[in-house]
A and B are shown apart, each in its own frame.
Chain A
Amino acid sequence: MKRRLFIATSLSTLAGCGPVTAALAQNAQVQRILGAAEPLNHALIGTRGLAREYRDRDVDRNFRVNGFATPADAAYERLAAADFRDYRLVVEGAVERPQALSLAALASMPQRTQITRHDCVEGWSAIGKWSGVPLASLLDRAGPRADARYVVFRCMDNDGAGNLYYESLDLHQARHPQALLATSLNDAPLDADHGAPVRLRVPTQLGYKSAKWIARIEVLGSFATIAGGRGGYWEDQGYEWYAGI
C-alpha cells in the first residue's frame, strides 16, 4: 500500500509541475537563463553549408499558405490590381546607393532558381521552387556602409492588431548564396497569398525568417529601436532571432 501511495504521490507531484513551470515560464530571469541556449546554438551551428536543393518532382504544387493574412489594405490592393507595376522595392539606410527597384528592374538582374524545403517552426515542411534575385546581389548594388550590420525587412502584412511584420538577418546571413528575394514560386509569378510581389527565402533557417510581402529593406547598424527591439515580429513574441534550429 505504501508503494502505491508513493506512486500516486509522485504522479500528482508531476501533475503539479504545470503551475510550477507556468510560474517559471513567466519569470523574466528564468527566461533569460533559458535563452542562453540561443547564442550557443548560433555559435555552433551558425549559417554554413548549403541547404539541400531538390528536383522538380519533389515540389509541393500547392505550397502551404501560412503566416499572417494576405494584406487587404487599399494600398496593397491598388498595387496588386496593377500587377505591381507601381511597386518599388526600396533599399535604404546605411547604404552608399539607396535603391527603389521596380519588378522589371529586379527581373533584369541575374536570377537564381532553387528548389528548397521550407521548415516551419511549428514542425511541418514543404518544398517549393523559388526564383528571384540573390539578396547578396542587391546588397552589392546598394553598397552597405562600414557601420552596416543588419538587413531589416519591412513587410506589408500585419498581425490583425496593426503591428507590421518585419524580420532581420545579419550581413553574413544576408550574403548566404541561398538567401533569395523570390518573385516566383513553382514557375509562376509569386501570388498574393505567398507574399507577392517580393518575399524572402532563407532555407538555412526556420520559416518565420522568410518574410513575405516585403515593402522595403533597411540596412542598419542595430535593430534595437524597431518595434520590440528583438529583430523580428516573432522574435518580439519570444522566438529566437537565430532560427537555424
Chain B
Amino acid sequence: MNAAQRRPAFYRYALATRLSHWLWFVAFLVLVGSGLQIFNASPNLDASDKSDPARRVLAIGSPAQGVGTTTIFGHTLVTTGWLGWTSDGMGERGPRAFGATITIPGYQDLAGGRRWHFFFAWIAILCWLVWLVSTAVKGNLRELILRRDDWGKLWPMQAYYLRLRKTPPDHGTYNPLQKLAYCSVLFVIAPFVVLTGLALSPGIDAIANPLTILLGGRQFARLWHFAGMLLLIGFFAVHLFQVLTQGFFNQMRSMITGWYRA
C-alpha cells in the first residue's frame, strides 16, 4: 500500500456533476466533429452578414489536385494533408477542409453532420440546465462563482503556480484561477457558442434579428461560432493537460466514482 492510498478519500463530485461532466465530454466531441463536417460544406468564414470574399477571414481550399491551402487574413499557407486536401473517409484523399479522422461522419455528409450536431446541441444545453439547477439547489454553485475578492487573488494564485510565491492565497474548494476558468467556460463561452449557433438559423433570425445584427451578421455569427469552438478546444486542452499532470488516476476516479484522495 503506497502513501497515496493511505490518504483519506473524500466525496468530491456529486452524481449530477459527474453525469453532466461525461455527457458534456461526449457532446463536445460530437459537436466539434459534426461542426467541422458542417463547416466543410462551405469552408470559408467571412466577417459580414451575407457571404463576402472581400471580408474573408478564413478560407480552406484546394487550388489544385493534391494541394490543400489555408488562407487566414489573406495569408496563404500550404496545409496539404492537414487542411484543404485531406482524407475523404472512403480510403482516398480529396479536396476537403477537415479530414475524415476528425469529422462526424468521417465521409462527406452534410445532412448527417447536421443531425448529429442538432441532437447533441440539445443534449449539451439540457445537460447544462440540469447541472445548473442541481448544483444551485445543492448549494455547490456558490463555491464555483467568482467573487469580487477573488479578482485580487488571481495574480497571487498564478504567482504560486509559477513558483514565485511559496503558498497559494486563501481559497475555498476552488482556487480563484479555477473559478475564473470554469465560470468563463460555463457562463460566458458556452452560452456564447449557443447564441452564435442560434443566430445562424434563419428561423431564429426572423424572431431575434437584433441578435444577428449584434454579432455583425449571419456569416459573422458563423465566424464567432467557430471562434467559440476554438476557445472551448483551448479550455479542453488545458483541462486535459491538468488532469494528466495532477494525478491522472485520482482525478479520473473522482470524476467517475465521486471519491478523491486528498
What is the number of contacts between chain A and chain B, taking CB atoms within 8 Å? Answer: 140
- In the complex, the answer to whether A125 meets B105 with C-beta atoms within 8 Å is no
User: Is residue B66 contacting chain A, with contact meaning CB distance below 8 A?
Assistant: no
B residues contacting A by CB (< 8 A) are 29, 33, 38-39, 41-42, 44, 49-51, 89, 100-107, 109-112, 114-116, 118-119, 121-122, 200-209, 212, 218-219, 222, 244-245, 248
Do A127 and B50 form a contact, CB below 8 Å, given A18-B100, A21-B105, A119-B218?
yes
A29–chain B nearest beta-carbon distance, Å: 13
| 23 A–B contacts from the bound complex (CB under 8 Å) | A15-B101, A21-B106, A22-B107, A25-B109, A25-B116, A33-B119, A34-B119, A41-B203, A45-B207, A49-B206, A49-B207, A49-B208, A50-B206, A122-B110, A124-B42, A126-B51, A127-B50, A204-B202, A234-B111, A239-B111, A239-B114, A240-B114, A245-B204
Do A58 and B50 form a contact, CB below 8 Å, given A22-B89, A122-B41, A245-B204?
yes
CB-CB nearest in chain A for B116: A34
B119 / chain A contacts, CB cutoff of 8 Å: 33-37
CA distance A37 to B121 in the complex (A): 9
A112–chain B nearest beta-carbon distance, Å: 16
Do A244 and B105 form a contact, CB below 8 Å, given A37-B118, A58-B50, A117-B218?
no
- In the complex, the answer to whether A238 meets B51 with C-beta atoms within 8 Å is no
User: Is residue A47 contacting chain B, with contact meaning CB distance below 8 A?
Assistant: yes
A200–chain B nearest beta-carbon distance, Å: 14
User: Is residue A57 contacting chain B, with contact meaning CB distance below 8 A?
Assistant: no
- In the complex, the answer to whether A18 meets B51 with C-beta atoms within 8 Å is no
- In the complex, the answer to whether B111 meets A238 with C-beta atoms within 8 Å is yes
Contacting B at CB under 8 A, from A45-85, are 45-52, 58, 60, 64
B207 / chain A contacts, CB cutoff of 8 Å: 45, 48-49
- In the complex, the answer to whether A60 meets B50 with C-beta atoms within 8 Å is yes
CA distance A45 to B206 in the complex (A): 10
- In the complex, the answer to whether B29 meets A52 with C-beta atoms within 8 Å is no
Partner of A17, one of B29, B50, B115, B248: B29
Partner of A31, one of B42, B49, B115: B115
CA distance A25 to B212 in the complex (A): 32
- In the complex, the answer to whether A38 meets B101 with C-beta atoms within 8 Å is no
CA distance A88 to B111 in the complex (A): 34
A60–chain B nearest beta-carbon distance, Å: 7
- In the complex, the answer to whether B204 meets A7 with C-beta atoms within 8 Å is no
User: Is residue A160 contacting chain B, with contact meaning CB distance below 8 A?
Assistant: no
A119 / chain B contacts, CB cutoff of 8 Å: 200, 202, 205, 218
A38 / chain B contacts, CB cutoff of 8 Å: 118
- In the complex, the answer to whether A245 meets B38 with C-beta atoms within 8 Å is no
User: Is residue A206 contacting chain B, with contact meaning CB distance below 8 A?
Assistant: yes
- In the complex, the answer to whether A34 meets B106 with C-beta atoms within 8 Å is no
B121 / chain A contacts, CB cutoff of 8 Å: 37
B89 / chain A contacts, CB cutoff of 8 Å: 18, 22
B227–chain A nearest beta-carbon distance, Å: 15
- In the complex, the answer to whether A206 meets B202 with C-beta atoms within 8 Å is yes
A41 / chain B contacts, CB cutoff of 8 Å: 118, 203
Partner of B201, one of A25, A31, A244: A244
- In the complex, the answer to whether A238 meets B112 with C-beta atoms within 8 Å is yes
B33 / chain A contacts, CB cutoff of 8 Å: 17, 21
A19 / chain B contacts, CB cutoff of 8 Å: 106
